[in-house]
Amino acid sequence: MKLPDLLAQAVERYGSRIAITHENNHLSYEQLAAWANNLSEQLRALDLSSGARIGLFLENSSEYLAAFWAICQSEFVIVPLDTSGSPETIASIISDCDMEAIFASPRFRRKFPDIIRRTKNLKAVICSSPTGLEPDSIQSVLMASMPSATDIYASKHHARDDNTKSLAAIFYTSGSTGMSKGVMLSHENLVTNTIATLEYLDLTENDSVMVVLPFYYIYGNSLLLTHIAAGARLVIDNRFMYPELILDTMQNEKVTGFSGVPSNFTIMLGKSTLTEREFPHLRYFTQAGGGMSPDTIRNLIEAFPDKQLFVMYGQLRRHLG
């Protein structure tokens, strides 16, 4: 199985169910797949090399997911980028992997000229509004917008290479020990990990996860893949700076899961009304991305004795509570 099969299966089984909730917008599996198809066509029109690297310079959003699936179903390679990265860092990654096109959010428009100036082989920037870049410096493509709920999704069968060992994505490390390094992951790597994780968490189409972690982190990417593969729902909220807003979203959207790195839990336990609120729909917490202090783990378990906590960091995945 390759990555696009995860989405294709979910669409077949759960087409009309909601895949993504973001800022009160809901996108069904069929809409997501239709959008990904439209974006694939845009990519194919660009005359890129076979197996070209395509960047994702987008905050967590429906656009991110549509572009993500468009890239992998077009047999290109996904390169998620840290949206807080400086133009220098972004440009060095673009050069390092020989990236040919990039999906970029208009939010980061200020950084575009500096990035483009530092790169050679990048051919196109795909953006949901005009990039303002000089046409002779690079091709700007207006990103196809979200299909409406009434658009009919037509499943397309692309003739595909079925080599599961082929490269699917490159994740760059944060570079804390020097230059950031690209970690190359095959379809098989990602699919195997996704299936193992969703079985382990016992995810079903009735689950929904509060997403505060960026998808460009491998842990955020794992949330994306496991929940789409399960036909579940990703509830995106990028306002973790104000944890009260996240807690409101968790309650309003009746999420069944919350996934965080240690600092998310430290902040929520220390400076929010987390423990004063009721989350009757919440089933589990997952934690990864670093070792969490025993005190934080204990406080979380004591505050939520009826929820499961999965500590997914380190060689052993422990199951507590």
Partner 1 sequence: MLTETEMKQKIRDFIAETFLIGDEQDSFENTDSFMATGIVDSTGILEVVGFIESEYEMTVEDDEMTPSNLDSVNNLTEFVIRKTG
Residues near partner 1 (CB under 8 A): 84, 239-245, 263, 267, 271-273, 276
Least Å distance, CB 248 to partner 1, is: 10
Q: Which is nearer to partner 1, 50 or 176 (CB)?
A: 176
Least separation, in Å, of the C-beta of 78 and partner 1?
24
Q: Among residues 173 and 272, whose Cβ is nearest to partner 1? A: 272
Pairing of strands 167-172, 182-186: antiparallel
Tell the smallest beta-carbon distance from residue 273 to partner 1 (Å). Answer: 5
Distance CA 78, CA 196 (A): 21
Nearer to partner 1 among residue 139 and residue 238 (C-beta): 238
Q: Which is closer to partner 1, CB of 55 or CB of 214?
A: 214
CB of residue 238 to partner 1, shortest distance in Å? 8
- Residue 138 Cβ vs partner 1, minimum distance, rounded to whole Å: 24
The answer to whether the Cα torsion of 71, 72, 74, 77 is positive or negative is positive
Task: Say if residue 111 is exposed, middle or buried (CB neighbours under 10 Å; 0-12, 13-18, 19+).
Answer: middle
Q: How near is the Cβ of 212 to partner 1 at its closest, in Å?
A: 9
Toward partner 1, which CB reaches closer, 242 or 314? 242
Nearer to partner 1, 198 or 236 (CB): 236
Token readout for 38 is: 């439209």
Q: What is the C-alpha to C-alpha distance for residues 219 and 78, in angstroms, rounded to an integer?
A: 15
Kindly write down the DSSP assignment for every residue of 126-181, as one continuous string.
EESS-----TTT-EEEEPPPPPPTTSPP----------TTSEEEEEE---TTSS--
